[in-house]
Amino acid sequence: MSKVTKTSRSDARRHSFAIIFQLPYHQPIAKENEAETLAWLKAFYYDYLDESNARPTGRDDEYVDRVIWGSLENLAQLDGVIENFLKGWELSRLNRVDLALLRLAIYEMLREPDVPFGVAVNEAVELAKVYGSDESPAFINGVLGNVAREIKGANRGQ
């Protein structure tokens, strides 16, 4: 049986997810502590890497930095989008894996024009299969499918 190798961008998403997943475990970032918190997160990220978990290189390395820091800087907007699509749920009740995956994919949809919506959704679902609960893939797919349709509809009206 041949070994399946993930693409560099998929690997970069996994790295980004690992850091975004950490965000809820830290105090909200006040402007006066922003630099300190960002430095801690970056140090955590580099500690997270080892020989078996190498950091992506080139464009994929730039992608990781953009997505991590962009998600952090736009956290309120991302969470607002998520809340708009939760039916009978509150953001605080979401599984932390699901929340991180939703933040990552929605960030890509809103801020990464070279990432097709379908790719953002599919990659989030694949990560949910590995890291989430049994219900995570279907939940992620449903929420992100609705978000993608809404964004595409809003873009048509412009």
- What would the pLDDT profile of 4-58 be if each residue is shown by its tens digit? 334 478 888 887 888 788 766 655 555 566 667 666 766 666 666 655 566 666 6
Between 32 and 86, whose confidence is greater?
86
Between 155 and 142, whose confidence is greater?
142
Parse the chain into domains and list their residue ranges: 8-156
Q: How far is CA 142 from CA 34, 98, 121, 149, in A?
A: 33, 12, 9, 11
pLDDT (0 to 100) of residue 2: 34
**Does the structure show a pLDDT above 70 at 90?**
yes
CB atoms within 10 A of CB 130: 11
To 10 degrees, what angle do helices 59-73 and 34-48 make? Answer: 140
pLDDT (0 to 100) of residue 135: 96
pLDDT (0 to 100) of residue 48: 60
pLDDT (0 to 100) of residue 45: 64
pLDDT (0 to 100) of residue 28: 54
pLDDT (0 to 100) of residue 33: 66
> For the domain 8-156, what is the CATH code?
1.10.940.10
pLDDT in tens, 106-126: 999 999 999 999 999 999 999
Q: State the virtual CA torsion across 19, 23, 25, 27 in degrees, nearest 10.
A: 140
pLDDT (0 to 100) of residue 89: 82
